[in-house]
Structure 1
Amino acid sequence: MPDPRRRELLGLAAKGALAGITTAVIGRPGSRAFAASASRTHFRALVIGSGFGGSVTALRLGQAGVDTLVLERGREWPTLPARPLFGSSTRITDTMFWFRHWTRWPTLPPVPVTPAPGVMEVSQERHLDIACGAAVGGGSVVYTGVTVAPPRRYFERLYPPGIPYDELVRTWYPAVRAMLGAGPMPRDVYDSAPFTHSRLWDRQMANARMRTHPADSTFDWEVIRRELARTVQPSATIGESDFGCGNGAKRDLTRTYLPAALATGHVQLRALHEVRSVGRRSNGTYSVVVRRLDEHGADTGITEYTCEMLFLAAGTLNTNRLLVAAREEGRLPDLPDTVGTGFGDNGDQANLRSQPLEPIGPVQGAPCASTAFLHTGFGLPLRVENWVLSGSASLPATATFAVTVDTDHRGTFRYDPSSRRVVLADWTKEKSAAAARATLAYSTRVIEANPGSLPVTANNLHPFTGHPVGGCVIGRSTDLHGRIKGCKGLYVMDGSLLPGNVGGANPSLTIAAIAERAVAGIITAGG
């Protein structure tokens, strides 16, 4: 029989109330139960990060009865159907960026903002801006919902043979899709005015003899329908996605994996807890030092947590920062030398085409309707996706997001002793150039097949990726279940495991599937 208490807790999450689940499980603030729980600093397992890898890990550990704490640096954001919650390219707010003084985003002009714990970190590495989520739910709050797998031939070229593609397709990809509720855009949504650009994009692709397919997405189509009916605050249908959809239009991890994890009763979540360092103590337990923040970004103190099992799921950028610093500063001296190597930008590229004679309307919807995979003819294989580029939704243009299969260009995270920071040390503009050439060649062919279309140069001076992957590559720095080699009880469960390139797909589905497979093996083996 289904557990009615668990249904009640999951019902809270459907209303965007993870804090309500926490209260129900550990007691109300001010109660003895809450005080006892909040004062705990030792757990059997500790998960750093609540994105795709961290949420998967937390749920499966909780279901196995493992006493688990999830630490997340960002805020938990509520669902507000009646008024805007997040900022956007047309409504810039302090909560858009993680502690920045100036905005920095493709097509956005630099605008001063007050540093705050916003939903998106943009790290200005040499020759590459790296973007990653900073919220409860991690990247699922700020991504565009596309949930696709890489083609077999490229997966098998990039990943270790000990991770069978057939196993992912048979077991782990379907498990993740089911949890996330991923599915294609319904026809009535596709036919609506905000998706004129999607229909035009498909028609242009067909004219160029490029076959498109519906893209699975984690947008909540019922909320999109309510936007179209004007019964909730418009968000996704006016091009918002990059900085969140506060009306609940995204079925992100705060509505799927995370509430299920908390409802097990074995998992706690502490938001606004920014991990500053990790290490190992003399008794063999792991140490995690955290800076606590309030919702405005002010420091409220430092706490040290300890655990027997430490799962790094802070996202590619921050997992590499934590581990490389721990190795070079002597807190985890046994980490393999390969940690920090094999980073890639997933071949991320954006492209715009203008068609002034075919107006698409004043604003356009953010969810991606269609995708196509182009194996040959452009230098690199690439997946192209129907897209809305933030800040350009009102232009007479169609946007394409592309991810290319680049097996060659990789970077390394290194420790800078003078600044005591970990930086992407050896990335060059040339490492992004092959992907840019492939995307331009694709767009040129589409333009040639569609008279009246023109190329548009997006106003973004900085090479950019929203899909950083690699650095703790599975099969090199870890075994095939994410155990870091030579460090018992230490695991990686995020995009760092991917080999610098997903293989022709957005990373979220593959990150979650590999985490599902890895944590299942860890639980079965008892560690």
Structure 2
Amino acid sequence: MSALQRRQFLRLAGKGALAGLGAAVLGQQGSRAFASAVSRTHFHALVIGSGFGGSVAALRLGQAGVDTLVVERGREWPVAPAKPVFGSPNGITDTMFWFRRNARWPGMLPVPLTPSPGVLEVSEEDSLDIACGAAVGGGSVVYTGATLAPPQRYFDALYPSGLHYQEFTRTWYPKVRAMLGAGLMPQDVYDSAPFTHSRLWDRQMAKARFRTSPIDSTFDWDVVRRELAGTAPLSATVGDSDFGCGNGAKKSLTHSYLPDALATGNVQLRSLHEVRSIARRSDGRFSVAVRQLDFRGATIDTTEYTCAMLFVAAGTLNTNRLLVAARELGALPDLPATVGTGFGDNGDQLNLRSQPLKSVGASQGSPSASAAFFHHEFGLPLLAENWVLPGYSALPATVTFTMTVDTDHRGTFRYDPRRRRVVLADWTREKSAAAARATLDYSSRVVEANPGSLPITLNNPRTMTGHPVGGCALGRCTDLEGRVKGNRGLYVMDGSLLPGNVGGANPSLTIAAVAERAMSRIVAAGG
């Protein structure tokens, strides 16, 4: 693809028109070529999910000339320059959540909803809420944009010995950062009124003698500047990004990997296609049962797709659901017994503190401007990021999101025959307790160093993780390239490959880097 073609494709993608790219590679809608293309049900490769792992897989397969279909359960969300696209804590809509009857998010009232194919799934597992994206672009639509690598000491301790940190820092992390367009918050944005809370957070940390550093993010600073100038709808500058930035302020995968994949001419993307089950047929092909949804969530059709190569990249929660069910129900009986084990919540914790006499500004903007890492101070290694919680933006409060390096506490996905679904079977509050203690100890130190500060208790009934990882770990369930042991042609390519903990970082960068490394070897080996 030429540079001009790529710019044209990215321009369309920037307008939320990924679906419209089909006309460029499949023929105009209504034409015989288009009808023939979209009616196909067999592809050489099929990718389930369009998040960080699935999008990488799609692009590299397409570049290698592999006939590929990407199926995504969520919808493609447009960029609307003049009106809101997504709901927010201050304007709750049905389309914020994936088939929920009530809102469930920190600081959000549990208002009733009409179940819809919304942008974010919150699954109420035992003692843990798991949040994950449900949209074209997967978690990149709803994440905070933080793009960090774990420190080497924790990477080396957690990941299989065949993965070399220096290879990742030399090749795969830079490759992903460049594709995503990650960068530090510019000084003029940091100095603006919506990021008063970020500057206060940094000052509070400095008074506690904690060193903070700016962190990479995948926000489009030109869009953020237009918000500041009043020429773009408000989203990032008022912290309304947890459910997506409808003005394009967030550089989701729909701005990078996905349009590049479609531009190869070898990749199709079908949204609102939810995979219900996977199996292997007697002829050796994989069978993928899919239900097609409309925008309201009604089932339009059910279809069986087949493929020779199946890449399961449905996100940690749903990849484990699909694979564990396939093994226990006999559809893929040779899956390793370790599939479904070693799940972790990445040590996620949310913490608030108030310094009532200090201004946090009229609104609190996202993304995170800075972070600090603590190796020894609080029992567990801990990463603290400056964060924002829109439901609390009217309070004089600063918000911290923490992730701990926890090598011990893991959970298991099991099939529950009574409920006929896969559940997180053995997670308890105690498995999150060490991370909670470390976070409280950290916050207490900051409060003590800042006179007039008070801790705020967040009224959230259970721990929530937006960073579920593990269950199909590299080296245990798969080889180091995500090939599932004992199942030729079957691959895992998402956060479930990570060892239950990223190692002191947000997962997106490492998920994509692991996928880039894996796909380079899979393509080179022909499978």
TM, length-normalised to structure 2: 0.99
Residues 237 and 365 in structure 2, CA contact (< 8 A), matched pair in contact too? yes
Given residue 66 of structure 1, which amino acid in structure 2 is its aligned partner?
A: V
C-alpha displacement at 1:7, in angstroms?
3.7
Written as runs of structure 1 = structure 2, the 5 A alignment for 1:272-351 is 272-351=272-351
For 2:196, the equivalent position in structure 1 comes to: 196
Q: What runs of 5+ residues in structure 1 fail to find an aligned partner?
A: none
C-alpha displacement at 1:99, in angstroms?
0.5
Given residue 415 of structure 2, which amino acid in structure 1 is its aligned partner?
A: Y
Q: What runs of 5+ residues in structure 2 fail to find an aligned partner?
A: none
For 1:83, the equivalent position in structure 2 comes to: 83
Is structure 2 residue 2 aligned with structure 1 residue 2? Answer: yes
Is structure 2 residue 225 aligned with structure 1 residue 186? Answer: no
Whole-Å Cα distance in 2 between the matches of residues 197 and 423 of structure 1? 39
For 1:364, the equivalent position in structure 2 comes to: 364
Give RMSD over aligned pairs: 0.9
For 1:12, the equivalent position in structure 2 comes to: 12
For 1:497, the equivalent position in structure 2 comes to: 497
For 2:165, the equivalent position in structure 1 comes to: 165
Q: Deviations over 1:12-64 (max 9, x none)?
A: 11322101212221122221111101110000100000000000000010011
Whole-Å Cα distance in 2 between the matches of residues 67 and 7 of structure 1? 23
Given residue 462 of structure 2, which amino acid in structure 1 is its aligned partner?
A: H
Q: Deviations over 1:238-290 (max 9, x none)?
A: 01111001000001100011000000100000000000000000010000000
Which stretch has the larger CA shift, 464-473 or 12-21?
12-21
C-alpha displacement at 1:145, in angstroms?
0.2
Written as runs of structure 1 = structure 2, the 5 A alignment for 1:467-482 is 467-482=467-482
Q: Deviations over 1:46-93 (max 9, x none)?
A: 000000000000001001110000000000000012111100000000
Written as runs of structure 1 = structure 2, the 5 A alignment for 1:255-270 is 255-270=255-270
C-alpha displacement at 1:369, in angstroms?
0.2
Whole-Å Cα distance in 2 between the matches of residues 92 and 191 of structure 1? 30
Given residue 278 of structure 2, which amino acid in structure 1 is its aligned partner?
A: V
For 1:430, the equivalent position in structure 2 comes to: 430
Whole-Å Cα distance in 2 between the matches of residues 137 and 309 of structure 1? 21
Given residue 373 of structure 1, which amino acid in structure 2 is its aligned partner?
A: F
For 1:420, the equivalent position in structure 2 comes to: 420
Whole-Å Cα distance in 1 between the matches of residues 209 and 378 of structure 2? 14
Residues 106 and 390 in structure 1, CA contact (< 8 A), matched pair in contact too? no
Written as runs of structure 1 = structure 2, the 5 A alignment for 1:221-232 is 221-232=221-232
Whole-Å Cα distance in 2 between the matches of residues 167 and 361 of structure 1? 43
Q: Deviations over 1:196-244 (max 9, x none)?
A: 0000000111111111110100010000000000001000100111100
Classify the secondary structure of the residue corresponding to 2:129: strand
C-alpha displacement at 1:459, in angstroms?
1.4
Residues 10 and 263 in structure 1, CA contact (< 8 A), matched pair in contact too? no
Whole-Å Cα distance in 2 between the matches of residues 483 and 391 of structure 1? 42
Whole-Å Cα distance in 2 between the matches of residues 50 and 218 of structure 1? 17
Residues 354 and 455 in structure 2, CA contact (< 8 A), matched pair in contact too? yes
Residues 133 and 142 in structure 1, CA contact (< 8 A), matched pair in contact too? yes
Q: Which runs of 4+ in 1 moved over 3 A?
A: 3-7
Classify the secondary structure of the residue corresponding to 1:391: helix
Whole-Å Cα distance in 1 between the matches of residues 239 and 8 of structure 2? 33
Is structure 2 residue 237 aligned with structure 1 residue 240? Answer: no
Residues 313 and 319 in structure 1, CA contact (< 8 A), matched pair in contact too? yes
Residues 238 and 390 in structure 2, CA contact (< 8 A), matched pair in contact too? no
Which stretch has the larger CA shift, 12-21 or 505-514?
12-21
For 2:250, the equivalent position in structure 1 comes to: 250
C-alpha displacement at 1:364, in angstroms?
0.9
Percentage identity across paired residues of the two chains: 74
C-alpha displacement at 1:6, in angstroms?
4.1
Whole-Å Cα distance in 1 between the matches of residues 416 and 29 of structure 2? 42
Q: Deviations over 1:142-164 (max 9, x none)?
A: 00000000000001000001000
C-alpha displacement at 1:4, in angstroms?
3.9
Residues 6 and 264 in structure 1, CA contact (< 8 A), matched pair in contact too? no
Classify the secondary structure of the residue corresponding to 2:246: coil
C-alpha displacement at 1:361, in angstroms?
2.1
Whole-Å Cα distance in 1 between the matches of residues 398 and 176 of structure 2? 30
C-alpha displacement at 1:3, in angstroms?
5.5
**Residues 5, 199 of structure 1: alpha-carbon distance in 2 compared, 3 angstrom cutoff:** closer
Q: Deviations over 1:343-399 (max 9, x none)?
A: 000000000010000021221102100011110110100000000023112210100
TM, length-normalised to structure 1: 0.99
C-alpha displacement at 1:113, in angstroms?
0.8
Residues 213 and 372 in structure 2, CA contact (< 8 A), matched pair in contact too? yes
Given residue 197 of structure 1, which amino acid in structure 2 is its aligned partner?
A: H
For 1:401, the equivalent position in structure 2 comes to: 401
Residues 56 and 516 in structure 1, CA contact (< 8 A), matched pair in contact too? yes
